[in-house]
Amino acid sequence: MRRPTAKGKGADIFLGDLETTASLPRQEAVEKEKASFYFTQDLLDALDQTWMQLRMKDRKLTKSDLVQAALEEMIREYQQRQEDSRLYQRLVARPHVGH
């Protein structure tokens, strides 16, 4: 029986699918699960540009940190403001056009 290939796994070969990070400010290390989503190229370019700008201030900042912070803020606002949140207004209140 052949062993699974290690190509493209990087540190995942040692860590598995879970990643532990201590780079979160003032928080203890937490386990994170890997997730994949589809984004437009424009959004990915904006993510890269924003990440590079923020990394000039903090070299330890990862793209995962940036995406997690953005999602946490949007979800927190939705939980507090519901239909008045930017998330609700963008996704539910407006008519859906060509998705």
Mean per-residue pLDDT of the chain: 80
Q: Is residue 99 part of a domain?
A: no
- CA dist 81 and 75 (Å) reads 10
Residue 7: what pLDDT? 56
Q: Is residue 88 part of a domain?
A: yes
- The total domain count for the chain is 1
| Span 11-30, pLDDT tens digits | 454 444 444 444 445 456 78
Residue 32: what pLDDT? 87
Q: Is residue 42 part of a domain?
A: yes
Residue 8: what pLDDT? 56
Q: Is residue 22 part of a domain?
A: yes
Q: Is residue 73 part of a domain?
A: yes
Q: Domain of 71?
A: 12-93
Q: 20 near 30, Cβ under 8 Å?
A: yes
- CA dist 68 and 30 (Å) reads 13
Name which of 29-33, 39-43, 67-71, 80-84 the model is least confident about: 29-33
Place of tokens 């990070």: 21
Q: Is residue 2 part of a domain?
A: no
Q: Is residue 21 part of a domain?
A: yes
Taking the CA of residue 60 as centre, how many other CA atoms within 13 Å lie in the half-sphere pointing to its CB?
5
Q: Is residue 81 part of a domain?
A: yes
